[in-house]
Structures are given as structure tokens and as C-alpha cells.
Chain A
Amino acid sequence: QSVLTQPPSASGTPGQRVTISCSGSSSNIGTKTVSWYQQFPGAAPKVLIYSNNQRPSGVPDRISGSKSGTSASLAISGLQSVDEADYYCAAWDNSLNGVVFGGGTKLTVL
């Protein structure tokens, strides 16, 4: 059971906009920044979003992040087949004194 809660799956057709939610608490998302990671089978996770809504260089601007209260969201617009992957949210947790992850969301492009 992950500390951060994500839907196990999400889907969309090419060109659509998809959002993935991440729910936490006051000890993590409520007071700390959220980062999002994309992972392909057999590969290490790669950061897509840090500090709630910042994109590292090389991440396209059709990918965005937001945070409100104890929840965060990742949005992918102009969905492409290359976006089919697993997505994870993460944040520092002040109560656990460690990094906590969401359980991951498998995104399928129909």
C-alpha cells in the first residue's frame, strides 16, 4: 500500500489530454513539492516534473504538473503512442522522514 495514491490505470486516444492524480496528506504533498517520473519497461524512471510544475530541459511543454492542497496532477496533452508508460509521483514525507512514492499509473494509448 503506497503512501501516495494514484489510479492504477489511465487511457486516452492520440491527440487527447489525459490527467493522472496523486493524493497524499499534510505530511507530504501538503507541505512538500511533488515530482513525477515516467518509466518504460526494463528502464529506470526518468523525471518529467519537479517542484510541482517545473519541467527539466528536454521534457516537452505538452507535459505539465500542478498541485493543490494535498493532491497533485500530471497532465499530458496531445497524447502520443510514445507516452504509453508507467507514471509515478513522489514527495518527501515529514512524518516518515523519507521519500514516498505513488503506486504508479499505467497509461495506455488506445
Chain B
Amino acid sequence: QVHLQQSGPGLVKPSQTLSLTCAISGDSVSTNSVAWNWIRQSPSRGLEWLGRTYYRSEWINEYAISVKSRITINPDTSKNQFSLLLYSVTPEDTAVYYCARWFHDPGWFDHWGQGALVTVSS
């Protein structure tokens, strides 16, 4: 059974970098038929897809236009996990952040992490 376990600080200061990790059990970050995603949820923005990483003979990263200039999602094959880095955060980045597995064909989120509230405040 696939399980995603999130970790990371719950409070980040404005202009700093938000960093979260999603540890995978029951699957491999390198599995070909899936992608590993970060999604956030806030009352003002609802559910918002941030980006994903996946392996198809090479690593591919895709990011939402809204955060493309300040986001990095990295796979870590040695620890079987992936991470989110969101740079230059503002209070508008305050949200519950989720990691999730996307099963490519036909395309759906079949497993989610437990979620983590990240507050951006000084």
C-alpha cells in the first residue's frame, strides 16, 4: 500500500524559502507510470496544483504558471522522497500543502499525503 508522509516547518518568514518533503513508502519515486505532485489549499485560492516531478528515462519537472518563477520540485532517489522549495514567500502562500501521486493513465490523484499547514508570517 502506498503511503506518503509529509514533513517540514509550519512557519516561514516572508521573503524566505518554504521547504517540504514527502517520503514515499510502497512505491518508488522512479516508477514510470506515475508523477509526484505538490498541491496547496487555501480559502482564497481553493485547491491549487503547484507542480510535479516524474521519471521517463530522465527526470521531468512541470510547474504551474502561477509559481513557475519561484518553485523547485526535486526527487531524491536515495531516500525515496521528493521535495518542494518555494522561494520568496509572502503571506499569500499561507496554505495547507499536500503531496500526492498522480497515476498517469488515465490521470488521477490516487494517493495523498496527510497535509501540512504552512503559515507565512514574521
Residues of A within 8 A of B (CB): 2, 32-33, 35, 37, 43-47, 50-51, 56, 88, 90-92, 96-104
Given known contacts A45-B112, A90-B109, A100 and B62 CB-to-CB distance under 8 angstroms: no
**Roughly how many angstroms separate A83 CA and B46 CA in the complex, as a whole number?**
20
Closest to A56 in B: B110
Given known contacts A96-B65, A97-B62, A98-B62, A45 and B109 CB-to-CB distance under 8 angstroms: yes
Given known contacts A44-B98, A44-B112, A44-B113, A100 and B49 CB-to-CB distance under 8 angstroms: yes
The yes or no answer to B26 lying at the interface (CB within 8 A) is no
The yes or no answer to B82 lying at the interface (CB within 8 A) is no
Top 4 nearest A-B pairs by Cβ distance?
A50-B108, A35-B108, A44-B112, A99-B49
* B98-110 Cβ-contact flags toward A at 8 Å (1 or 0): 1010110011111
* B12-44 Cβ-contact flags toward A at 8 Å (1 or 0): 000000000000000000000000010100000
Given known contacts A98-B49, A100-B49, A32 and B110 CB-to-CB distance under 8 angstroms: no
Q: Which residue of A43, A50, A101 contacts B48 across the interface (Cβ within 8 Å)? A: A101
Residues of chain B at interface, number, CB under 8 A? 24
* Contact, CB under 8 Å: A98 / B65: yes
Closest to A43 in B: B115
* Shortest beta-carbon distance from A50 to chain B in Å: 4
Closest to B35 in A: A99
**Roughly how many angstroms separate A43 CA and B115 CA in the complex, as a whole number?**
8
Q: Which residue of A33, A37, A43, A44 contacts B107 across the interface (Cβ within 8 Å)? A: A33
* Contact, CB under 8 Å: A51 / B115: no
The yes or no answer to B64 lying at the interface (CB within 8 A) is yes
A56 surroundings in chain B (CB, below 8 A): 110
The yes or no answer to B114 lying at the interface (CB within 8 A) is yes
Closest to A54 in B: B106
B37 surroundings in chain A (CB, below 8 A): 99
* Contact, CB under 8 Å: B46 / A51: no
* Contact, CB under 8 Å: B110 / A47: yes
The yes or no answer to B47 lying at the interface (CB within 8 A) is yes
* B57-90 Cβ-contact flags toward A at 8 Å (1 or 0): 0000011110000000000000000000000000
Q: In this complex, which of A35, A88, A98, A100 has the most chain B Cβ atoms within 10 angstroms of its Cβ? A: A98
